[in-house]
Amino acid sequence: MRPDPVERIDARAVTVWRLTGFVEALVAAVVAGVAFGLGASGIAPRWVVLAVAGAALASALLSVVIVPRVRWLRWRYEVSESEVYLLFGLIIRKRTLIPMTRVQHVDTKAGPLLRAFGLSTVTVATAAGEHEIPALADEVADRLRDRISTLARVTEDVV
């Protein structure tokens, strides 16, 4: 059995994901608010209101408190001379292996939110789609991008 990848992504990823999760929680709060409104005006029965409010609270708790943390805990990557190896997934665990010889190009990218935290995402492209390593510190991401790019160049390229 091949050893699991060891590198973690940046811990600030948790904060970023909490922020995006917070937006989702706001949507849930609106839904809960509508449910309470309907309950107060007597349109929806009491148990429906409680169920909706409970679901909204649970989803908010999940998307802000639990999911970002566990998602970060479960993300691992490793770049060796011959391959890029990823292991991630909250419930569905997914291992992805990209042979270095198949890498066509490597990019880093960062949206406004990631930039505010000094983070970038590394994208590894092959002839059959792209793979991402999310939320690495800018310096780490730049180094990783250059390293993969160098490694991918020296190996013989086969489409």
81 binds another protein (CB under 8 A): no
> Cβ of residue 66: shortest distance to another protein, in angstroms?
16
45 binds another protein (CB under 8 A): no
Given a contact cutoff of 8 angstroms between Cβ atoms, the answer to whether 125 and 107 are in contact is yes
Stretch that binds another protein, among 34-42, 45-53, 77-85, 135-143 (CB under 8 A): 77-85
Stretch that binds another protein, among 11-19, 44-52, 84-92, 137-145 (CB under 8 A): 84-92
Using alpha carbons only, give the angle 68, 73, 79 rounded to the nearest 5 degrees.
115
Given a contact cutoff of 8 angstroms between Cβ atoms, the answer to whether 87 and 2 are in contact is no
Q: Helix, strand, or coil here: 80?
A: coil
The single residue among 14, 53, 67, 98 that binds another protein, judged by CB under 8 A, is 98
Q: Helix, strand, or coil here: 10?
A: coil
Pairing of strands 103-109, 83-88: unpaired
> Cβ of residue 144: shortest distance to another protein, in angstroms?
17
Q: Scan residues 119-148 and list those touching another protein (CB under 8 A).
A: 126-129, 131
